[in-house]
Amino acid sequence: MRMGPKGLALLKTFEGWRGRAYQDSVGVWTIGYGHTSMAGPPTVKRGMTITKAEGERILKRDLKKYEQAVSDAVRVDLNQEQFDALVSFTYNVGPGNWRKSSVLRMVNAGRFDAVPARLMLWNKAGGKVLRGLTRRRAAEGELFSSGSKESKFAAAEIPDAPIGKSPTQSTTNIAAGLSAVAGVTAAGREIVDNTNTMMQAAPWIVVCIVIAGATWWIWRERNRKSREDGI
């Protein structure tokens, strides 16, 4: 497996480009995209200079070593983003530190969710926390996790929508919609029917009220006359 474009871009960003040899944070002579003598030829010395094209060739050659170191140590399947993040890490700390790291132990244990936190433990140089290394470990952890999220998403059981059907064409949705419409229609019809019934009964209700009132008035008048007549 070879490092992909995402990993290569991350590595180049954090290594930076130097056409003239310089000493890194712990005094190691470095040139190009973070090339040191420990990675292999050419040996980096004070005053050494290289062209950008030479730097690209050196990086390509160096990467093979670190890609192999990751491939040899990992016993589980990795996707491209996960592999890229681990190669970037190994390129920075060296194959020896990679092989004894808790990062590798978490990877081989299948505990991918724990890898970003383990990467963050490697943000020191000369016993001091460096801002640049902290940012790099965070970027590597994010790249590693982006691969994990994509894998989990792909494996998730998500029902597929019927091919060639819009939501309104789905048989289930149509049935549910028709049921809802039918329910509303029935309720509306019931209200209308009840209203019509009440309207039809209204005249009879008025007649009954009038009759009851008249009956009560006649009964009251008879009682009043009976009292007056002494009955």
Catalytic residues: 15
C-alpha 224/C-alpha 218 separation (Å) is 10
Residue 20 pairs in a beta bridge with 49
Vertex 104: Cα angle to 100 and 106 (nearest 5) = 125
Q: Tokens for 196?
A: 């019509």
Contact 15, 30 (CB under 8 A): no
C-alpha 103/C-alpha 158 separation (Å) is 32
With tokens 């950008």, the residue in question is 52
Contact 68, 4 (CB under 8 A): no
Q: Say which amino acid occupies 161.
A: A
Q: Tokens for 54?
A: 């030479």
- Measured from the Cβ of residue 219, the count of other Cβ atoms closer than 10 Å reads 10
Instruction: Specify the 3-state DSSP secondary structure of 44.
Output: coil
Q: Count CA within 13 A, CB hemisphere, residue 51.
A: 3
Instruction: Specify the 3-state DSSP secondary structure of 128.
Output: strand
- Taking Cα atoms as reference points, which of 169, 187, 164, 94 lies closest to residue 104? 94
